Structure 1
Amino acid sequence: MPAPAHAPAFPETPAEVLPGLAELIASELAPKVVDIDLKGVYPGDFLKQLGTLGGLGSLTPVEHGGTAHGLGHAIRLIEDVSKECVSTGFLLWAEYALQWYVINSSNHALAAEMLPKMARGEVLGGTAQSNSMKSCVGIEEARLKAQRVDGGYVINGVLPWVSNIGLDHWFHMGATLPDTPGLVIGLVHGSTPGLTLTQNAHFIGMEGTNTFACQFR
């Protein structure tokens, strides 16, 4: 008679996905959860400290200041943060999305300059690509229009909801060019001249996600 199979034994307490994460959540995030969701307190200090621990650079190559631990590591970090505060877990996803586009950009000089700062939490930001992606498959009209000028582009249009941004944050966006297929993708700072950020809605939760309407003129 064959010997009975035994299931592998797992430790009662799984190893922490990032050393210092539990302590950071307990000290810097847990006491502020209600204020983040209902009073609009933005957890920027937590995100920056998470970057110092290496928690923002999971998808970013080591040569660009990240840890390159991979998508699974990023998902586990989002999960652990979201168990305490879903709003902050969402913002952590936005940080990864911000870096992912820069990682996959053909602008290598931009990647070399910005990714180390993003991965370490020295600068924060998000993604304004929702409308861009929907426009590519015909769900929505592209809201941003680009015009090529000397030294760059002029952008016109409005995006109604972009999260994890502010006057001192970065985000990337996509805009159409006249008579040209595809999109031009740009990295924009919140203080860029001609860009106006407005908070014109009240949410029943997730108030602290720094969600703005973006008007390009």
Structure 2
Amino acid sequence: MRIVARDLGMRFGSRWLFQNVDFAWQSPSFVSVTGPSGSGKTTLLGVISGSIPATVGDSIAEADEMGGPSSAGWIVQNSPLLVSRTALENVALGPIFQRVPRPEALARAEQEMARLGIEHLANVRAKKLSGGERQRVTVARALASQARLILADEPTSSLDAEAKIRVATALRTAADDGALIIMATHDKEVAAFADTVFDIGQRTTR
């Protein structure tokens, strides 16, 4: 998996979120996109995924034989869960959407929940989870999918120090196993787990 951007720019009204953005990121790799609030971190993830058109420039995904952005794993803030299903069932949806057989999907879900320290929540319905627990379920779901590209938007924003390090370590492991992880974060401690720190704030014009 390779993502190449050339002269990307995004404008809302008269304000540019970012301009002149160029990069070439290739798996296996872990990239942290940093910058102050409002600098366009989340928007850049949307451009990379193809869900948001850039004002200028191009973002090109060069998929390998394992799949492209359409099969990307997404970790977003306040990600919706099936509230009547258990945490384990919600995590298993990641690989199930990738057409993984249910027994294997559940095994992957159990593994990722254990990695993130939430295995004790396996049989708890999602509606009873706290905000931080929901966030870790969302992370586990994306990791269990074993997608070649994972886009993570502030995946540790609601977590305490221990849980935050668990998530950062799990994303690091996924990159080491062959994925391209692109994470937007304002947390310098979490960003330090990445191979590349890309400060989009330096490309912001007001």
User: Taking structure 1 as the reference length, what is the TM-score of the superposition?
Assistant: 0.33
User: Taking structure 2 as the reference length, what is the TM-score of the superposition?
Assistant: 0.34
Q: Which has the larger radius of gyration?
A: 1
* RCO comparison, higher one (Cα < 8 Å, 6+): 2
